[in-house]
Chains A and B, each alone.
Chain A
Amino acid sequence: MRPDTLDAPEDDLVSRLQQGDAAAYREAVRLYTPGMLAVARFYLDPASAEDMVQDTWLTVISAIQTFEGRASLKTWLHQIVANRAKNRIRDRHREVALDTDDPLDPALAERFGDNRRWSVPPSARSSDSAQALLENNVLSDCLDKHLGQLPEHQRSALMLYEAHQHRAEDVCNLLDVSAANLRVLLHRARQRIFLMVEGFQETGEC
């Protein structure tokens, strides 16, 4: 479903990186930094995450020589960040505290009655396609805002799974979470986005 093999353009990018081509680095930095930050921020505060990703890029300049293409470049880069971040928190005897106890967002949970049926059902709005919704700039900005407000753990999981198209197995590995916990993180994040879009379509406001 989500192939993790080298495709030709990536192959080309790798060899240009190995040659120390500055333009290739600019390209790679733009392609892979958002995902690398998503991994780092799962473990670290935003400022430390940025520093760690910067350090990682500087390491990559020499490490790329030993890149063998067993994983995609994306996965390889994300893994370097994950390993460094895991070591960092291990050294500090810290643990990532996950909130995965409740699969339902509180704001959604309270919309069911004691009989476990909807008491405040989802509003049956126009059936705009996701594409049509995305063309709405105000909604697009609103989506940005709400994604920014998601708890760091949910956002990292969501970004790596949905936007960066990692396989669930890889996300579990990068974030050191169980498959069950990843499911909860994804589900909670999707509920936040559902609630946001619903509110936006009802009120026209973010």
Chain B
Amino acid sequence: MLMCKDLAVIASDYIDGELGTGGKLSVRMHLMMCRHCRTFIGQLKQSTVLMAAHSSQQAPADYIARLDEEIHRALTQGIGSNQGDY
């Protein structure tokens, strides 16, 4: 029988729809009986949405500025232009 800890192991697979029919069914049965796991799944789902929505991990501004500068230099020196077959 699927216990809480087993469910925690496969929780992401359940959320992402990666479980087979049998697996899905035992998770649903467990969730009907266990409110702690319902809370857990709900909150893990929410964490996933938070992550996806969060536009963190921007590259550092000074690094981006350095890239702009290097690319600008390369473009104005003509590196890249007139290359390739086009």
Interface residues of A (CB under 8 A from B): 18, 20, 22, 25-26, 29-30, 33-34, 37-38, 50, 53-54, 57-58, 61-66, 103-104, 108-109, 112, 115-118, 121-122, 124-125, 127, 129-131, 133-134, 140, 143-144, 147, 155, 158-159, 162-163, 165, 183, 186-187, 189-191, 193-194, 197-198
Contacts and interface: CB of A to CB of B under 8 A. Distances in A.
A34 B50 contact: no
Interface string B18-32: 100000000000000
B59 A194 contact: no
B13 A147 contact: no
Contacts of A109: 5
B4 A117 contact: yes
Contact of B68 (A29, A65, A117, A183): A29
B67 A57 contact: yes
Name the prevailing secondary structure of the B interface residues. helix
A58 B56 CA distance: 25
Interface core residue of B59, B72, B84, B86 (most chain A CB under 10 Å): B59
Contacts, number: 149
Q: Which of A108, A117, A130 has the most chain B CB within a 10 Å cutoff?
A: A130
A33 B59 contact: yes
A191 B44 contact: yes
Contacts of A194: 40, 43-44, 47
Contacts of B13: 183, 187
